[in-house]
Amino acid sequence: MYCVETRELSHGFAGHPAVLNSINMQVPTGSIYGFLGPNGAGKTTTLRLLLGLISKQQGEIMLFNKTLKGNRIEILKQTGTMIESPSLYGHLTATENLLLYQKLFQCQRSRIKEVLDTVGLSNTGNKKAGEFSLGMKQRLSLAVALLHNPSLLILDEPTNGLDPNGIIEIRDLLKKLNETLAVSIIISSHLLSEIEKLVTHVGIISKGSMVFQGTLESLVNKQQQNASLVVDTSNLQLSAELARQFVPAATTGNGKLIMPIPAKETIAAINHAFVKAGIDVYEMSTNKKDLESIFMELIK
Amino acid sequence: MNNSFINCFSAEWIKKRRSFSSWLVLAGGLFVPVVSTIIFLVYPKQLMAIHNSGHFWEGLFQKSWQLMAIMLLPMGIVLAVSLITQLEFKNNTWKQLHASPVSFSNIYFSKLLVLILMLLQLFVLFNAGIWISAWIPSLLISEIPLPMYTINFGYILRENASYFLCSLPMVAIQYLISLQFKNFLVPVGAGLALTIGGLIALTWKYIYMIPSSYTALYFLQSKDNIAPAHDLQTWSLGYFLFFSLLGYWLYISRKVKG
């Protein structure tokens, strides 16, 4: 069951190459979906299309199993948003900013205090939003997104401008919302490291195309598949021949023996064979690619 | 009026708190009365002349409207309307507003209603200011008699209603232009060009077709007690409806809404 689904979603701006090419996004209900990609990959355009901020050109957009067209208001009643930089009225206080959205969302007035407490802005008093630091503005924008108790949050780079403590706090808050209230969250970022501790699912977009989509586990498995064992010996040719008896895929490169990581018993047997053949083993190490480098490879 | 529209309107009303446009309404409404008060204090004979005219309130009303109708009101509308729509551009809030569960129609018409009510606020302040500008000099300078004349409320209301109607096309036109451009200077420049153009063309035989001149035109007709060749109020209402609906169509047809 998906709370957000797009089918063959494509979009382009007049006179420019297509920004999005046949995006098939599937956000499972109750998940935290990390939407990743470098700057200019099409993340914000996709999110703006989901919210109807840009007219759809091709494809289909479904939120809560309903098409955006004809169900916009009903869908937005269940959706909290924060797109790109903070959208706040600089001449109004935090409470006044929330008060006007409380009118638009038609939710309880008591929610204003609750969300201000949640994002740690309850003591800003008469200070105007225009005088806030970027981090405070991000928190207030998040408060706006949370105001009407949405069941889906669409957050475009919400930790921009936050200090490390602020990032951890927001991450914990989003986790809590997801775990306790089952809020589905789409969170975009250009850094995998920033959200890998938070997300359950990942969609990676590059140059307007979705290059990976799945659970975080499946991305981790991809990482395991790409890992290799590297062995530096005194006799490369002989050691390669011996190693192939255990791991047929063993190859050589950069003066070293390289093979997919075998079971630990096999590693011991290979090492034993080398010693028996009088080959000195200088180094035996695994060359694991971290998630970040897999991400970088995907978006190349 | 449905609940959603009322809530949307309330939100729009909150936005104008402490905004420059609401200060502009206050300053715009009281500017002429304050200047008149100072003039009457420095040159009491001017107020005495109005006292001696036999139609004190009508005379003071006409005198106060002179500068207001010809220049200040159209320019004030240009600035105030542009500033209200500029709130969304300047604060980068269109996207958040358009991602809220309210219809685009409610957003458009609640903003328009805020503008109309601000215009009404300006008229109330201006009229109160006219009344005060008669009393302060009379209380401070002993030679000036107190303005204890009966106020012809029918006349005052009629004239205000006419000026109000004549102002509406400019509100709609300026609102339409301001919604189209992010750069504040574009709507302000266009609005001022329309206002000045209208003043330059005041003697043109087809001037009744230029809505930016209507308040000035109405003042001239009213001052000289000329029977109008064209019903400016009807033209105003027509232009207001036309530009409001055209603005609405352009607004909802925008492909990028934030």
CATH code, domain carrying A86: 3.40.50.300
Query: Is there a contact between A87 and B8 if contact means CB atoms under 8 Å apart?
Result: no
Task: Tell me the residue range of the domain where A258 lies.
Answer: 227-299
Cα angle vertex B20, ends B17, B21, to 5°? 80
Average pLDDT over residues B222-240: 85
Is residue A82 within 8 Å of A154, Cβ to Cβ? yes
Q: Do A235 and A201 fall within a single domain?
A: no
Q: Could you give the percent of chain B with pLDDT greater than 90? A: 86
The span from the CA of A256 to the CA of B245, in Å, is 75
**Whole-prediction pTM value?**
0.87
A196 or B173: which leads in pLDDT:
B173
Residue where one domain finishes, among candidates A222, A243, A266: A222
- Which residues of chain A lie closer than 8 angstroms to B10, CB-CB? 100, 103
Provide the pLDDT for residue A190. Answer: 86
Residue B178 predicted with pLDDT over 90? yes
Q: Nearest Cα to B69, choosing from B212, B243, B237?
A: B212
Provide the pLDDT for residue B203. Answer: 87
Which residues 125-154 of A are in CB contact (within 8 Å) with B?
141, 144
Provide the pLDDT for residue A17. Answer: 78
Read off the CATH number of the domain in which A231 is found: 3.30.70
Residue B11 predicted with pLDDT over 90? yes
- Which residues of chain A lie closer than 8 angstroms to B95, CB-CB? 48, 51, 53, 83-84, 87
Q: Do A96 and A142 fall within a single domain?
A: yes
Q: Nearest Cα to A220, choosing from A299, A300, A168, A288?
A: A288
Q: Between the CA of residue A229 and those of A245, A270, A283, A288, B64, what are the distances in Å?
A: 15, 12, 10, 9, 91
DSSP-assigned states of every residue in chain A: -EEEEEEEEEEE-TTS-EEEEEE--EEETT-EEEEE--TTSSHHHHHHHHTTSB---EEEEEETTEESTTTHHHHHTTEEEE-SS----TTSBHHHHHHHHHHHHT--THHHHHHHHHTT-TT-TT-BGGGS-HHHHHHHHHHHHHTT--SEEEEESTTTT--HHHHHHHHHHHHHHHHHH--EEEEEES-HHHHTTT-SEEEEEETTEEEEEEEHHHHHHHHHHT-EEEEEES-HHHHHHHHHHH-TT-EEETTEEEEE---HHHHHHHHHHHHHTT--EEEEEEEPPPHHHHHHHHH-
Q: Do A95 and A111 fall within a single domain?
A: yes
Q: Do A79 and A140 fall within a single domain?
A: yes
The structure tokens listed for B50 are: 């109005």
Give the residue carrying structure tokens 């995006």.
A23
Residue B58 predicted with pLDDT over 70? yes
Residue B224 predicted with pLDDT over 80? no
Provide the pLDDT for residue A226. Answer: 72
Query: Is there a contact between B93 and A88 if contact means CB atoms under 8 Å apart?
Result: yes
**Maximum separation of any 2 CA atoms in chain A, in Å:** 81
Residue B1 predicted with pLDDT over 70? no
Q: Is B54 exposed, middle or buried (0-12, 13-18, 19+ CB in 10 A)?
A: exposed
The span from the CA of B174 to the CA of B111, in Å, is 13
Provide the pLDDT for residue A219. Answer: 84
Average pLDDT over residues B83-108: 95
Is residue A111 within 8 Å of A51, Cβ to Cβ? no
The span from the CA of B193 to the CA of B190, in Å, is 5
Alpha helices in chain B (DSSP H): 3-15, 20-42, 44-52, 56-67, 73-90, 94-98, 104-140, 153-180, 185-200, 214-223, 232-252
Q: How far is A286 from chain B (nearest CA, A)?
A: 48
- Taking the alpha carbons at both ends of chain A, their separation in whole angstroms is 31
Q: Do A235 and A128 fall within a single domain?
A: no
Q: Do A166 and A119 fall within a single domain?
A: yes
Residue where one domain finishes, among candidates A187, A222, A257: A222
Residue A164 predicted with pLDDT over 90? no
Which of A55, A69, A92 best probes binding to B when mutated, by most B CB atoms within 10 angstroms?
Answer: A92
Is residue A298 within 8 Å of A253, Cβ to Cβ? no
Q: Do A153 and A280 fall within a single domain?
A: no
Average pLDDT over residues B79-94: 95
Residue A66 predicted with pLDDT over 80? yes
Q: Could you give the percent of chain A with pLDDT greater than 90? A: 67
- Which residues of chain A lie closer than 8 angstroms to B110, CB-CB? none
Residue B257 predicted with pLDDT over 90? no
> What are B141-157's pLDDT values in tens digits?
988 989 999 999 999 99
Backbone angles phi, psi at A9, to 5 degrees: -75, 120
Q: Do A59 and A98 fall within a single domain?
A: yes
Provide the pLDDT for residue A16. Answer: 78
Q: Could you give the percent of chain A with pLDDT greater than 70? A: 99
The span from the CA of A112 to the CA of A3, in Å, is 26
The count of C-alpha atoms lying within 13 angstroms of the C-alpha of A164, restricted to the half-sphere facing its C-beta, is 1
Q: Compare CB distances from A106 to B7, B14, B255 and report the shortest one's residue.
A: B7
Total structural domains within chain A:
2
A6 or A40: which leads in pLDDT:
A6
The span from the CA of B227 to the CA of B225, in Å, is 6
- In DSSP terms, which residues pair with B160 in a beta bridge? none
Mean model confidence pLDDT for chain A? 91
Q: Do A145 and A261 fall within a single domain?
A: no
Query: Is there a contact between B101 and A91 if contact means CB atoms under 8 Å apart?
Result: no
Backbone angles phi, psi at B242, to 5 degrees: -60, -50
Residue where one domain finishes, among candidates A200, A222, A244: A222
Q: Nearest Cα to B116, choosing from B159, B29, B160, B175?
A: B175
Q: Do A232 and A168 fall within a single domain?
A: no
Q: Do A43 and A151 fall within a single domain?
A: yes
- In DSSP terms, which residues pair with A204 in a beta bridge? A36, A212
Q: Do A240 and A215 fall within a single domain?
A: no
